[in-house]
Structure 1
Amino acid sequence: MTITQSDWKTRLGVRFTVDGNETRVFLAQSYVPTFGTSAEPLHSIERTHVGVVATPQSLTFTLSVTAIGPAVAELTALALRGDPFDIVLLEQEGDDWSFSTIVLEQCYITSAAPGSATVSGAPVATFSGFSLAAAVTDTAGTTTKAPQ
């Protein structure tokens, strides 16, 4: 079965864990994990591309959350204290998604931007930061981790 965008029936949720204590899942307005890997060829006078030089991976995220419930307050407190935490993106409903979970471990918030209040809805707070480790698990249960 081919799933098109109009067939998408899955809702994704985000949860975060601090010191082993897991918060309940909340719906994010948007969550953008970014995995950046970099490698350059190692050249030689005699031949080209005799090896590769890999640089550390870049694991960053941007998370926008509606300021309803405790999630925004808890994330803001984490940012102010500088505490590490884990972020998990997972299926909350449905089964259309390719992954079971995407986990960013040992995250730190580097930027927090509470949104302005509007007449028509709740404000949205945006958090950005980086992660020291990552793991993805597909729907078959295979987990792949970013090298550390």
Structure 2
Amino acid sequence: MTTPPASTWMQSRLAVVLEGKTDQPLTPVESFTPTFNLNAEVVHSLEATHVGYIANPANFTFTLTVKAIGGASAALTQLAVAGKEFSIGLYQAKGSNTDEWDFKSLLFNKCLITSANPSNAVINGAPTATFSGVAREAVADDGTEHRLPTFMA
């Protein structure tokens, strides 16, 4: 068994991407907390339990933090005010280690910002801004095809 190369996390980042321009990301993401809600209600009958389910629409939300320098938080605030959609995806520098991430690709598409919270100025380091939002589409690829189960009578 071979040991995978050590991850440096210096060559790959999550980034905010506008209009599909992955070669020109708007800003790297300092922290990202996605939430996937794939709710389903189990259907029972008089004769058996768990005979099926009713799937509710998927709900994808996120919180991301960026450094409030270089105009990144101002640009994200403008996206929020204008209601303009964007994507959050894996940005990888040329020649970087491709084994740093569990996923081959991770992408939240059609994102909208629902709230913004800039931090106070700090004595050391750069201030940050935290944004919360929703995504209408989420794509994660770890090299294996995944599908929701289907019920057939």
The bucket for the TM-score relative to the shorter chain is 0.7 to 0.9
Secondary structure of the residue that 1:79 maps to in structure 2? helix
Name 1:8's counterpart in structure 2. 7
Q: Displacement of 1:86 after TM fit?
A: 1.3
Distance in 1 (alpha carbons) for counterparts of 2:67 and 2:137:
26
Which among 117, 128, 136 is matched to residue 124 of structure 1?
A: 128
Name 1:137's counterpart in structure 2. 141
Secondary structure of the residue that 1:74 maps to in structure 2? helix
Q: Is the deviation greater in 102-111 or in 7-16?
A: 7-16
TM-score, structure 2 normalization: 0.78
Cα–Cα, structure 1 residues 61 and 2, in superposed 2: closer, same or farther, change >3 Å? Answer: farther
Secondary structure of the residue that 1:10 maps to in structure 2? coil
1:30 to 2:31 alignment: yes
1:62 to 2:63 alignment: yes
TM-score, structure 1 normalization: 0.80
Residues 15-54 of structure 1 mapped to structure 2, 5 A cutoff: 15-22=15-22, 23-24=24-25, 26-54=27-55
Cα–Cα, structure 1 residues 90 and 101, in superposed 2: closer, same or farther, change >3 Å? Answer: farther
Name 2:151's counterpart in structure 1. none
Distance in 2 (alpha carbons) for counterparts of 1:54 and 1:104:
21
Secondary structure of the residue that 1:108 maps to in structure 2? strand
Which among 94, 97, 100 is matched to residue 97 of structure 2?
A: 94
Any unmatched runs of 5+ in structure 1?
none
Q: Displacement of 1:143 after TM fit?
A: 6.9
Higher strand share: 1
Distance in 2 (alpha carbons) for counterparts of 1:97 and 1:19:
24
Deviations 1:32-55 (A, max 9, x none): 122221112101122222111111
Q: Displacement of 1:89 after TM fit?
A: 2.8
Name 1:80's counterpart in structure 2. 81
Deviations 1:118-143 (A, max 9, x none): 111211100000100111233x5x67
Distance in 1 (alpha carbons) for counterparts of 2:56 and 2:135:
16
Q: Is the 8 A contact 2:61 2:132 kept in 1?
A: yes
Name 1:106's counterpart in structure 2. 110
